[in-house]
Amino acid sequence: MTVNQNDQLKDGKVVLPSKWLFWKHRRYIVALMTFFGFFNAYTLRGNLSIAIVAMTSNRSETLENGTIVNTEPEFDWSNETRGYILGSFFYGYITTQLLGGYLAKKYGGKIIFGTGIFVTGALTVITPWLADASVYLLLAARIIEGVFEGVTYPSMLGLWSKWAPPLERTGLSMMSSAGSYFGTVITMPLSAALAEAFGWRYIFYFFGSLAVAWYALWLIIVANSPAQDTRISETERRYIESSLEGIISKKDNEVTIPWKSIASSKAVWAICMSNFCENWGFYTFLTQLPTYLKDVYNFSLGTSGFLSGLPYLAMGFMVPISGQMADFFLSRGYLSITKCRKIWNFLGFFSQFCFLMAVAFVSDEILSVLCLTFAVGIGGFAFAAYCVNPLDIAPQYASIILGISNTFGTMPGIISPILTGYIVSNEPTVEEWQIVFFIAAGLYLFGAFFYITCSSGEVQQWAKQKETDQGGMYGACDITNVENNN
């Protein structure tokens, strides 16, 4: 075995550097880059929820003599039209979930993940011109953005199937996913600030350009697998690859996909239903929270943007924390994978049910925002369950299963904004918004018990390799990993 400058010797054995020296671990660099990838992805999909408020609100201009003149909204769209515009992204997003998983399995996650975000960013830059030209061009652009961003989550799991050692997969996956929530957090207040300072058009210019810049770095820094990474140490490469022996076939791209077994698996259906239930609430808040705060509590655009970001700030912290907690309990042997996934999912979903029911009945704006923040934040535990679960039950087909799961999870993004547009009238009432929260809370409760009943953390029989590979569940690794002691 080759020992290079990144390797350390202890009692004559090569050991990996401390995990705190993250820049010496290529898998942590991949996690950091995917974090910023999802950060960009969610700024691109979430900025419209703030921009549309500015685009459809009455405007005021101060003339040179100090006179304030009120003008009509730049776009006179009804609630129903706004619902279709906000949901249009998901019309495209739902079409490429399975395709993204398949392409990532066949060609690797790097190019699929990066290209999806790049095209979405480029279209975001030209969104103001499309909106000025026609509402139909705006709808078409958002649909196409959804098509390209739909490949991101499945391809990310395809990337981690090659990069994540089994006992680190929850933490690494959740570190990546946390970018989604921090992206949402930043989007809300920053979009409001950009709209108030420069106009709503600069929301799209700024976030679209940021995504394009990230893509250039992504192409340079990230590789499809440890074997293709020219900067990885020999020690880390062997550690990752040996830990995956017996899990990922060396001829993984040639493995036949057992579609019938996947479609009839209770464990797969548990993941799909959890994805649907979680995203119903998530997309409802993502697209409607600024409007809710403005309608019910009459907050300004800037205040709505700031408060709308708080729940996702909480989730941004809780998702990686819940992932690290899950890996801790698993690595110490305190919980089996199955028990860990069930407990984490139930904790997230049942907490969201309780806090959303509280939101529906409280009348104080501070309590309402706090309950929403706790609901979304503690929901981060569920992501450390069903989102990582495909790697548990079928590592070879994880990107495929997540693609199927995200197809179900995208449906709420289409249905929820439209349904909310019909429930909440042009002169909204508290009772109308209560119905919106009741629906989300009920789905969380259903999802909690469905996952407990049907989920599994064990590799399914149909997912086991047909050829004989050496190494057990976690492979035979001759490299000492002392990171947990550092």
- The confidence band for 114, taking pLDDT boundaries of 50, 70 and 90, is very high
Task: Give the whole-angstrom CA distance, residue 227 versus residue 234.
Answer: 10
Residue 183 CA to chain centroid, in angstroms? 10
Secondary structure (DSSP) of 37-48: HHHHHHHHHHHH
pLDDT winner (highest mean) among 135-144, 227-236, 282-291, 377-386: 135-144
As a whole number, mean pLDDT of residues 195-199 equals 86
Least confident of 22-26, 37-41, 224-228: 22-26
* Encoded tokens for 234: 């020999």
| Helix (H) or strand (E) run with residue 198 in it | helix 169-198
pLDDT of residue 255: 58
Name all contacts of 14-23 with Cβ < 8 Å and 24+ positions apart.
14/235, 14/479, 14/480, 15/235, 15/479, 15/480, 15/481, 15/482, 16/235, 16/236, 16/239, 16/479, 16/480, 16/481, 16/482, 16/483, 17/483, 18/483, 18/486, 19/483, 19/484, 19/486, 20/486
Tell me the torsion sign for CA atoms 192, 197, 199, 203: negative
Say what the pLDDT of residue 5 is: 40
Residue 144 scores a pLDDT above 80 = yes
Q: Specify the pLDDT at position 469.
A: 42
Q: Tell me the two tokens of residue 89.
A: 């992204």
Lowest mean pLDDT among 7-21, 60-74, 295-309, 367-381: 7-21
Q: What is the pLDDT of residue 14?
A: 45
**How confident is the model over 331-350, as a mean pLDDT?**
92
Share of the chain above pLDDT 90, in %: 26
Distance (Å) of CA 443 to CA 160, 311, 350, 461, 485: 29, 19, 10, 30, 42
Q: Pick the range with the lowest mean pLDDT from 65-79, 148-162, 172-186, 304-318.
A: 65-79
Whether 41 contacts 183, CB under 8 Å? yes
Mean model confidence pLDDT for the chain: 81
Q: 9-13, 156-160, 296-300: which range is least confident on average?
A: 9-13
For residues 40-66, give the mean pLDDT: 78
pLDDT at 437: 86
Average pLDDT over residues 435-453: 92
CA atoms within 13 A on the CB side of 177: 27
- pLDDT band of residue 138 (cuts 50, 70, 90) is very high
Percentages helix, strand, coil for the chain (3-state, rounded to 5) are: 75, 5, 25
Average of pLDDT values for 94-103?
84
Kindly report which listed range (54-58, 209-213, 384-388) carries the lowest average pLDDT score: 54-58
Does 263 have pLDDT greater than 70? yes
Mean pLDDT on 417-436: 80
